[in-house]
Amino acid sequence: MPESERIEISREQIRNMEKIDRLKLINSTPGYKSVNLIGTTDPSGNFNLAIFSSVIHLGSNPPLLGMISRPITVERHSFDNIIETGVYTINHVHTEIIDSAHQTSAKYSRETSEFKATGLTPVLMHGFKAPFVEESSIRIAMSLVERQEIRSNGTHLLVGEIQFISAPKNIVREDGSFDLSAAGTVAMSGVDTYLACRELSRKGYARIRKG
């Protein structure tokens, strides 16, 4: 990397930024984020679909994934549905559904199904109550097992356990893991940028090098 001139951004400069500029900057600081469609159902059976860029791995035994939900000061359909029903689905966004996936972030009313509004297709699988996205390659059924409030900003960490996974056979590697770039799964940076990823290298377990 050729060394370029550097800038420093202080805590005070961050505090004094305009809200949208700060959102865009701070969201780009951790590096790339996963981007998933979260499918839920309300107690009356209405389907909801929303895009989240905060799904993370928490542990593999038991298989736990986390997700950050914004403060509950405004209406949060997905969050309410997860708390009320205890189940949700995680559906990977791939290159061919970016537009529809992004469109789910528009502020539809509680009665509007984002599936209908964006053209994505809900599909029910194995009697699981929450809807999956038929267009998604990798789909995961989740049960809520824990909820933690992050006191510093009123955000919630939802902890879910994987109930089952559905994936195209041709993206499963020999060791059983998923080849996300073959699946067309995209990454997000900041609040608005979708990216395709290309494998550079696979590493073995790192050992201490002699001499």
166 binds a copy of itself (CB under 8 A): yes
Q: Any idea which residue has 């930024």 for tokens?
A: 17
- Indicate the residue among 12 and 44 with the shorter CB distance to a copy of itself: 12
- Distance, in Å, from the CA atom of 65 to the CA atom of 55, rounded to the nearest integer, reads 7
Number of CB atoms found within 10 A of residue 17's CB: 15
- Indicate the residue among 68 and 124 with the shorter CB distance to a copy of itself: 68
Contact 51, 105 (CB under 8 A): yes
Token pair, residue 4, equals 């370029």
State in angstroms the smallest separation of the CB of 124 from a copy of itself: 14
210 binds a copy of itself (CB under 8 A): no
- Indicate the residue among 80 and 161 with the shorter CB distance to a copy of itself: 161
Cα 23 → chain centroid? 17
Q: Any idea which residue has 């895009």 for tokens?
A: 51
- Indicate the residue among 43 and 169 with the shorter CB distance to a copy of itself: 169
Q: Which of residues 46-105 bind a copy of itself (CB under 8 A)?
A: 53-66, 68, 90, 92-96, 98, 102-105
177 binds a copy of itself (CB under 8 A): yes
